[in-house]
Amino acid sequence: MKRPLVILIVSTLFFLFLLAHGEEKTGILIDAKCGANLADQPSKAQAHPVSCALDSKDSGFGIIADEKFFRFDDFGNKQALLLLKATQKESNLKVRVGGHFEGNLIKVSEIETVE
């Protein structure tokens, strides 16, 4: 009788851990206007200028990862804009994004640049 209870408790704790920490993806930071069109073109996505992403900031931002475009929520958009303004890179700005993925929308909890 104790074993099923232990399994239930461990499973519940693991599920809560996953909910709290969400998922992670690494990809190219890009504006939403261009992101959907370049998702299946990795070389063009890598060459996409940071200046274009900044010019299209009103469309929002996201990442291209796994040949898909994932759009950010409002918090993610604000964080992405800060990263884009601060970077010295002209293109191929790679980021690691953590959060909750709901289809192609990321409810961003953290975002940072990666080499």
**Residue range 79-96, pLDDT digits in tens:** 999 999 999 999 999 999
**Residue range 22-52, pLDDT digits in tens:** 789 999 999 999 999 999 998 999 999 999 9
Residue 3 has pLDDT above 80, yes or no: no
Nearest alpha carbon to residue 22 among 76, 60, 67: 76
Residue 106's pLDDT band (cuts 50, 70, 90): very high
As a dihedral over the C-alpha atoms of residue 83, residue 92, residue 103, residue 108, rounded to 10 degrees, the angle is -20
- Contacts of residue 22, Cβ cutoff 8 Å, sequence gap at least 6: 98, 99, 100, 101, 107, 109
pLDDT greater at residue 39 or residue 13: 39
> Residues 34, 69, 89, 76: is their CA dihedral positive or negative?
positive
Predicted structure pTM score: 0.80
Residue 10 has pLDDT above 60, yes or no: yes
Question: Is-contact 108 97, C-beta < 8 A?
Answer: yes
Residue 98 has pLDDT above 90, yes or no: yes
Residue 74 has pLDDT above 70, yes or no: yes
